[in-house]
Structures are given as structure tokens and as C-alpha cells.
């Protein structure tokens, strides 16, 4: 506490000596903004909302769900296998970005186990996808080899046959990432995923982690099956489903996505479960920054509108508490020379948007490591330090109050 007070005192002296900064502070106070971000899912880093639509994304499908839930999606999820090329993905991706959302792709290698991937059997396909995604240019969140701590996928550790091990999984994941990087597909962000429960021999949440240098986000899948399944499923709370995996992944200090989640109607009160779950995320799961609903009538009716009560609960839970801008992408961006600095581009994806703003907040709160941000790009006031002043300037830029950062005035 003493150190924090001293920092505030020093900051106050600096502000008095610098008229421009003092004016900035006055403007922010009038707007009701804060220079010192608070913990938890506050308005500045409001929980991002996503969904799998039940089919591959289209403009009509996205707009329909946006209208149904009363809020625009921040993330749209699609699933593809390794016989799918990017020509198939492109029109669906176009629909996502036309609606100002981010595309999350779950990439399923049904034809391969991790030994085959590790040994290079799929290199030509992976490389072609890397080239196509690089050329596409927009930020894509890619989730390969998901739920590998289970026993139901050919790449999973618990899968019958025992070919997949922690080491082969890690090698396979890294090989995929390395190929993309070698092709310069830096617009792709890597999502590591686990199922909420370890299922099968030798499975764990952490044994398959590819390493900090190969992961941008971690993620968890989990469902409240209620009493719908013949294998003895039961009604479970959010904590019962997610807490164990969350407590394991939070140690990696990476932002966490709930990449698949939903609840059944049978066995309890789905509407109350939705309300309680969002409240738990906001109060006790501070590293969860996005939740992607599995909106599909599949094993049971997972959809947000499986009942009127469930829909009303979901709509109320995801209401925005501020006008925080959603991420936007640059269409057909001009490649930026590696020597150029895009000020504000904290996560180094080639553009400045609200994701960078949220990422800087997590950095200031100590939620992401120092080497995970572009320090030069984050120092938007050009004073040689990264602090809440930079955070404030980013917010002003996103709100349209300024059209360039102070550091750019001298360029």
C-alpha cells in the first residue's frame, strides 16, 4: 500500500508540472473515467460474449442471434476438420468480420494423431492454411487439438491405442505454431484448450500445456448436462464444472476463454443457472475474459432460447454496462514493415483496437507477463514508461476524442 501511495504522489507531482497531462486528467474526470483500472470484469474489460451458432457462421445467422440476445457478438465460433481448406472458411470469416466480431476456429485433425502431426505427416496442409490465413490478414483465434485431456478424440491423451502422450501432444502443437510463424501468419492467435474434467488414463490439465511462447489464450470447455444423459449426468453449478480446470490454468497467467459452455433445461432451473454462472464469473473468475456459448440443439437443447425464462436470463446477464467499443478489423490491410511501430498495438496483431486496450489493462493489473506486450507500442504518450496515462489515452482514442496519440505528434 505504501508503494502504491508513493506512486500516486509522484504521479500527482508529474501532472502538476505538465499542463497537457493535467488537462487530460480533467477531461477524464468529467467523463467519469478512471486512470487506475480496478480488478475483476469491470466496464473497461467487459466480458466478451461469443457463440457457436449451431451451424457455420453466416451474416443472417449472426444478425439473428444478435437480435435474439439483445447484444452483438464479440466472438463467433466455427469448427473445421483438416480436410477443409481456407476457400471454405473465407465466406464464413467474411460474415464474422462484417459484423465486427472475432473468428474463433476449432481445428480438428480427425485424420491424424499427435505422433503423425509431430512427425510432419500433415505439414503441407498446415503450411497451406498458414499461407492462406496470413494472406487473409484479419485476426483469427485458432484452437487446434482441443479437449486433449479426454478420451474421445484421435489426438487425445486418453484415446484408445495409447499413441498420444503429453510429449507428443506438445510437440504436435508446437509444430503447428512453428509452421504458421515461419510463414509469417502473425495475425493468428493460439488458443490452448482443456475439457473441464480429465477423462482417461494419464490425462491432466497441465501436462499437455505447450508453453507460454506457444499460447496466447488458454480455454476450457464444460457443460451442465443436468439429468439428460444415460451415463448418469447430474445438475452441476458453474463452480462444480469449471473451478478445477480454471485453478490449474490460471497459474499460466494467460487470459482464459470459456470456449464451449451451455446448460440443459432438465434437472434444474436453467434460467437461474445462467444468472448464477455469470455472477460467479464476474465475482470470482477474474482471468476469464470471454465466454462462448454452444447454441445448438444437439445432445440436449443447449440453446439460449430453449425456454423463455432461459432467454430472458441470458439477455439480462450479457447486457453491456458501458459503451466499450468492440474489436474491429482492417479490411485488406497493407502489410506493415517489421521496423514500423503501430502505436497502441499492444498484442502485436497489426492493428489498434479495443482488444489492445483490454490487454494493457491486464498488463497493468499483473495478469499478463511483461514480455507478452509490445512495450514501444504501449507507450503511447512517449514518456518512456507504460502506465495508466497510456491506458487513458487509448480509451480516448477508441471513443473518438483524439485521432492520434501524443507520441505520434512528433513523428
Q: 17-38: string of b/e by CB count within 10 Å (b at 16+)?
A: eeeebeebbeebeeeebbbebe
260 noted as active-site residue: yes
For residues 269 and 264, give the distance between their C-alpha atoms in angstroms, rounded to a whole number: 9
In whole angstroms, how far apart are CA 322 and each of 26, 50, 83, 119? Answer: 20, 18, 42, 49
β-pairing, 188-195 with 140-144?
parallel
Q: Comparing C-alpha atoms, which of 396, 394, 358 is closest to residue 75?
A: 358
Mind giving me the DSSP string for 230-248?
Answer: TTT-----HHHHHHHHHHH
64 noted as active-site residue: no
Those residues with Cβ within 8 angstroms of residue 164's Cβ, 6 or more apart along the chain or in another chain: 113, 114, 115, 148, 155, 156, 157
For residues 126 and 145, give the distance between their C-alpha atoms in angstroms, rounded to a whole number: 13
Which residue of the set 46, 108, 260, 265 is catalytic? 260
DSSP element (H, E) containing 8: helix 2-17
Q: Comparing C-alpha atoms, which of 350, 351, 363, 349 is closest to residue 391?
A: 363
Which residue of the set 139, 147, 183, 265 is catalytic? 147
Active site amino acids = 147, 260
Amino acid at each position: 500500500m505504501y508503494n502504491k501511495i508513493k506512486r500516486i504522489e509522484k504521479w500527482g507531482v508529474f501532472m502538476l508540472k505538465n499542463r497537457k497531462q493535467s488537462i487530460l486528467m480533467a477531461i477524464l474526470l468529467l467523463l467519469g473515467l478512471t486512470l487506475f483500472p480496478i480488478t475483476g470484469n469491470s466496464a473497461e474489460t467487459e466480458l466478451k460474449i461469443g457463440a457457436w451458432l449451431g451451424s457455420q457462421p453466416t451474416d443472417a445467422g449472426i444478425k439473428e442471434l444478435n437480435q435474439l440476445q439483445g447484444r452483438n457478438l464479440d466472438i463467433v465460433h466455427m469448427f473445421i476438420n483438416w480436410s477443409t481448406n481456407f476457400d471454405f472458411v473465407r465466406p464464413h470469416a467474411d460474415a464474422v468480420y462484417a459484423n465486427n466480431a472475432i473468428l474463433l476456429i476449432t481445428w480438428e485433425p480427425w485424420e491424424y494423431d499427435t505422433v503423425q502431426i509431430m512427425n510432419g505427416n500433415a505439414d503441407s496442409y498446415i503450411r497451406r492454411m498458414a499461407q492462406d490465413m496470413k494472406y487473409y490478414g484479419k485476426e483469427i483465434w485458432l484452437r487446434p487439438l482441443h479437449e486433449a485431456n479426454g478420451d474421445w478424440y484421435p489426438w487425445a491423451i486418453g484415446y484408445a491405442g495409447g499413441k498420444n502422450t503429453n510429449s507428443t501432444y506438445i510437440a504436435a502443437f508446437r509444430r503447428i505454431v512453428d509452421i504458421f510463424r515461419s510463414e509469417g501468419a502473425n495475425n493468428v492467435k493460439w488458443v490452448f484448450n482443456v475439457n473441464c474434467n480429465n477423462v482417461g488414463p494419464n490425462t491432466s490439465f497441465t501436462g499437455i500445456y505447450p508453453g507460454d511462447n506457444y499460447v496466447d489464450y488458454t480455454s476450457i470447455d464444460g457443460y451442465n448436462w443436468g439429468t439428460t444423459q444415460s451415463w448418469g449426468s447430474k445438475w452441476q453449478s458453474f463452480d462444480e464444472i469449471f473451478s478445477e480446470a480454471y485453478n490449474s490454468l490460471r497459474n499460466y497467467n494467460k487470459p482464459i476463454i470459456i470456449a464451449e459452455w451451455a446448460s440443459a433445461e432438465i434437472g434444474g432451473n436453467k434460467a437461474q443457472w445462467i444468472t448464477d454462472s455469470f455472477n460467479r464469473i464476474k465475482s470470482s473468475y477474474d482471468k476469464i475474459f470471454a465466454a462462448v456459448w454452444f447454441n445448438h440443439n444437439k445432445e440436449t437443447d443447449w440453446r439460449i432460447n430453449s425456454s423463455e425464462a432461459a432467454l430472458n436470463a441470458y439477455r439480462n446477464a450479457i447486457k453491456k454496462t458501458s459503451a466499450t467499443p468492440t474489436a474491429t478489423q482492417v479490411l485488406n490491410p497493407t502489410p506493415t514493415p517489421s521496423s514500423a511501430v503501430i502505436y497502441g498495438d499492444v498484442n502485436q496483431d497489426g492493428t489498434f483496437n479495443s482488444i489492445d486496450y483490454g490487454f494493457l489493462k491486464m498488463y497493468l493489473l499483473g495478469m499478463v507477463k511483461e514480455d507478452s506486450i509490445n512495450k514501444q507500442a504501449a507507450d503511447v504518450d512517449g514518456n518512456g514508461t507504460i502506465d495508466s496515462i497510456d491506458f487513458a489515452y487509448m480509451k480516448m482514442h477508441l471513443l473518438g476524442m483524439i485521432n492520434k496519440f501524443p507520441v505520434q505528434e512528433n513523428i
